[in-house]
């Protein structure tokens, strides 16, 4: 495995594939790499339960600005002036994207975001692609919301998408959406791990890190995402007989509650 593959698919990764899978396979998944990893570490597999724990941590991470990214505010559209849904939102009424505040993505930005999200979370035997479960709509809604944390992400995402198309055009004279899977991967390899990124790619790596986390938060908040990692919560049980005996044996404990 090359250094780029190591950066892309190992070193503290959260994968769509189960823990029994090894290495990188274009058909199965692209890893979601944590900022704390190191490309020099050996390949390390995470269980579905550990993957779920990483995904749940996105909720806390979502309020943080993208590391290593200094947005160029002058290159992005003005933020929405809508006040938001207030302190007492109606949690019963269903809202469609754009019904509370205007959305941000242009048609071209949506295409670029779709191509990147599907490169990170492609369709495979474990679940649909990111774009098939509303990931792009959530990211658009997120950066359009009139709240500080979301507005901080707005220039990160918009400038990053613009960089992606510009870099694609510089390399192969095509926008990112028109690239082959290998060409997309070559660009993503350069920006998927901020600590190892070349100086010229540091800002773009900050964008990629943020876009990846938002994509993961959206994807694994859907029933399809739950299925992909084997999560079976939110299912009523007629009774609960306690943990399976093999789990108790592995932990060296005894069931004491009947």
In a domain, 202, yes or no: yes
In a domain, 100, yes or no: yes
Residue 81, pLDDT score: 62
In a domain, 23, yes or no: yes
> What total of structural domains would you count in the chain?
1
Query: For a pLDDT cut of 70, what percent of the chain falls above it?
Result: 68
- Rounded-to-integer distance, Cα 183 and Cα 168, Å: 8
- Rounded-to-integer distance, Cα 201 and Cα 205, Å: 6
Query: What is the mean pLDDT of the segment spanning 25-36?
Result: 35
Whether 21 shows a pLDDT value over 60: the answer reads no
- Rounded-to-integer distance, Cα 19 and Cα 7, Å: 18
Whether 43 shows a pLDDT value over 70: the answer reads no
Residue 177, pLDDT score: 97
User: Which residue range is the domain that position 109 belongs to?
Assistant: 3-76+92-234
In a domain, 82, yes or no: no
Predicted confidence (pLDDT) per residue in 98-142, tens digit: 888 899 999 999 999 999 999 999 999 999 999 999 999 999 999
- Residue given tokens 């108790």 in the structure block: 248
In a domain, 205, yes or no: yes
Predicted confidence (pLDDT) per residue in 192-217, tens digit: 999 999 999 999 999 999 999 999 99
Whether 33 shows a pLDDT value over 80: the answer reads no
Q: Is the pTM of this model over 0.75?
A: no
- Rounded-to-integer distance, Cα 196 and Cα 83, Å: 40
| Contact indicator for 119, 184 with CB cutoff of 8 Å | yes
Residue 19, pLDDT score: 34
In a domain, 248, yes or no: no
In a domain, 255, yes or no: no
By CB atoms closer than 10 A (0-12, 13-18, 19+), residue 2 is exposed
């Amino acid at each position: 495995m090359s250094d780029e593959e190591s950066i892309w698919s190992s070193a503290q990764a959260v994968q769509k594939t189960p823990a029994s899978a090894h290495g990188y396979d274009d058909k199965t998944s692209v890893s979601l790499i944590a900022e704390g990893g190191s490309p020099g570490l050996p390949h390390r597999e995470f269980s579905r339960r550990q993957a779920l724990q990483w995904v749940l941590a996105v909720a806390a991470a979502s309020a943080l600005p993208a590391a290593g990214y200094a947005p160029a505010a002058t290159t992005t559209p003005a933020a929405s002036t809508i006040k938001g849904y207030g302190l007492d939102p109606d949690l019963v009424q269903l809202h469609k994207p754009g019904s509370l505040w205007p959305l941000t993505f242009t048609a071209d930005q949506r295409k670029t975001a779709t191509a990147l999200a599907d490169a990170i979370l492609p369709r495979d035997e474990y679940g649909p692609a990111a774009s098939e479960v509303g990931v792009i709509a959530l990211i658009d809604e997120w950066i359009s919301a009139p709240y500080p944390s979301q507005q901080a992400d707005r220039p990160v995402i918009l400038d990053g998408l613009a960089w992606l198309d510009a870099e694609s055009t510089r390399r192969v004279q095509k926008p990112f959406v028109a690239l082959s899977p290998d060409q997309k991967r070559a660009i993503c390899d350069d920006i998927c791990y901020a600590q190892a990124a070349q100086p010229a790619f540091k800002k773009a790596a900050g964008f990629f890190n943020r876009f990846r986390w938002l994509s993961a938060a959206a994807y694994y908040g859907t029933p399809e995402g739950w299925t992909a990692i084997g999560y079976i919560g939110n299912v009523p049980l007629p009774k609960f007989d306690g943990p399976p005996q093999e789990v108790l044996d592995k932990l060296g404990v005894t069931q004491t509650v009947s």
